Structure 1
Amino acid sequence: MLPESSLLESRTMRESLSARTEVLDKVKVLEVLPDGLHVTTDGVADYFKVTRQAVENLVVRHREELESNGLHVLRGSDLREFETFNLNVSNGAPGSYPQRRRRLTLWPRRAVLNVAMLLRDSEVARRVRTYLLDAEETHRARERYGRERASEPWEWYEPGFDDLRPLLVRTHRMVSAINVELCAVRTDVRRLDERMDRFETRMDRLETRMTGVETRVDGLAAHIRRGGRR
């Protein structure tokens, strides 16, 4: 398997796996906001079981990378509209006068996965990385399998169908042999048709000659009968 350091140290590697957000829910359910798309900073901290400060420190160090994966901050009218449909406006103590947020950082799933590939001191993040690297290794193995069999018949079968491949190859060869035999049979039939045509032509000619002979015989018989009467 690829080493865990390949994710922690290589942004190129992280970018190549940034779309595999399904691994988040396979390790632990990610609680998203009512919009079904985003998580707050507190939600990210809760998912990875770290402090909010640890997440904010990560943003300071890797903001450009995280923003490339969708991290963004809402302010002003955009924030008020988002709060109306997705959040409680008040962030004060129970019973206190509602206080509006001045800004809100939103994390799409890609950005949360990005945190998993950067956060060193989190057991949940380690599990996500392990799952991610296992999935990548499986994907690469399948690609190698496909390249190795690209020149063989039936290469479109998945590895799980290996037990069928010998039978399919034999069937393919048998069908090819039958096609060759059918071509030979078609050639023989065509030749036989030609011979039958020639035979029918000869029979027509023979029938014509026989008709002529019969006519002559009838004429001769009539002549003999007339002569016998004289």
Structure 2
Amino acid sequence: MIDETVLLESQTLRTSVLDRIEVLDRVKTLSLLPDGLHVTTAMVATYFGVTVEAVRQLTRRHREELAANGIAVLRGSDLRQFESDNVSLSLGSYPQARRGLTVYSRRAVLNIAMLLRDSEVARQVRAYLLDAEQAVRTRLDGPALDDRIDQRITHILGKTVVPMFNALIETSGEHQRELVAMRDGVGRIEQRLRTHHARLRRLETRRG
């Protein structure tokens, strides 16, 4: 099982699971703005059960990473157009016009879930992500690569190379001794691979 700390500290691992945005709604329904795509800082804070300031501080610390995953600060005409498309954000209800509005995509919210330490909702999201990642790795990995290579080499030696030497020995007189020595050497290699394979199996069984 992948440790949660690795997800918190590894941007590479976070990036590898950022497409799993469906995990957000499995933990808790994420309310979106009328455009169906974005949320505000206050909405992010509500989802994770933390303060708006906690979200802002996290955003400042990881600005570059979050910007790459769908966080944006709208100003000027972009802000006016966005508010026009999302009536609930109309400036008419505010005594003073805003200078900017930070909005987050679902992907950015998932990114925050992998960075926010002091939130039970964020921890649950990370748990779902890690469980899904572990399941995928288990399906893809199957036997370890070294194990598969050992088995393949053993099969080739036992089913192809050794019989070939036997046939050559039967038909050769002058180089028979050399061929016998080579065949015995291959046999020893095959036996070592089988012993190595059996040892790995025992270690895996103990570990399991």
TM-score by length of 1: 0.60
The percentage of aligned residue pairs carrying the same residue is 60
Equivalent pair of 1:72/1:105 in contact (CA under 8 Å): yes
Partner Cα distance (2:41, 2:106) in 1:
12
Equivalent position amino acid for 1:111 in 2: A
Amino acid at match of 2:119: S
* TM-aligned CA deviation for residue 16 of structure 1: 0.7
In the TM superposition, what is the alpha-carbon distance from 1:18 to its structure 2 partner? 1.1
Larger radius of gyration: 1
For structure 1, the residue ranges without an aligned partner over 5 or more in a row are: 152-230
Alpha-carbon distance in 2 for matches of 1:21, 1:147: 30
1:51 paired residue number: 51
**Are residues 1:103 and 2:100 paired?**
yes
CA contact (8 A) 1:91 1:100 kept: no
Q: Residue in 2 aligned with 1:137?
A: 134
Task: Provide the residue aligned with 1:164 in structure 2.
Answer: none
2:121 counterpart letter in structure 1? V
Instruction: Identify the residue that residue 77 of structure 1 maps to in structure 2.
Output: 77
Cα distance between partner residues in 2 of 1:90 and 1:55 = 26
Q: Tell me the CA shift for residue 41 of structure 1.
A: 0.4
SS at the partner of 2:62? Answer: helix
For 2:117 and 2:32, the matched residues in 1 are separated by 23
| 2:80 equivalent to 1:89 | no
Per-residue CA deviation, residues 164-198 of structure 1 (Å, 9 max, x unaligned), is xxxxxxxxxxxxxxxxxxxxxxxxxxxxxxxxxxx
Contact 1:19–1:110 at 8 Å: present in 2 too? yes
Contact 1:91 1:101 (C-alpha < 8 Å) held by counterparts: no
| Cα shift at 1:88 | 2.5
Q: Which amino acid aligns with 1:73?
A: V
Q: Corresponding residue for 2:23?
A: 23
Give 1:144 shift: 2.0
| 1:175-186 superposed matches below 5 A | none
Structure 1 counterpart of 2:41: 41
In structure 2, the residue corresponding to 1:127 is in which secondary structure? helix
SS state at 1:73 partner: strand
- Aligned positions of 1:5-16 closer than 5 A: 5-16=5-16
Q: Tell me, yes or no, if the aligned pair for 1:2 and 1:137 is still in contact at 8 Å.
A: yes
One-letter identity of the residue aligned with 1:137: Q
Shift of 1:141: 1.1
SS across alignment from 1:36:
coil
Q: Distance in 1 between matches of 2:49 and 2:23?
A: 17
Unaligned runs of 5+ in 2: 149-208
Matched position secondary structure for 1:72: strand
Structure 1 residue ranges, 4+ long, deviating more than 6 angstroms after superposition: none
1:17 deviates by 0.8
Measured in 1, the distance between the counterparts of 2:60 and 2:99 equals 19
Residue 45 of structure 1: SS of its match in structure 2?
Answer: helix
Which string of whole-angstrom CA distances, capped at 9 and with x for unpartnered residues, describes residues 17-45 of structure 1?
11111100000000011111001000000
Post-superposition offset of 1:110: 0.8
2:104 is paired with a residue of what secondary structure?
strand
CA distance in 2, matches of 1:16, 1:90: 42
> How far apart, CA to CA, are the structure 1 residues paired with 2:59 and 2:93?
22
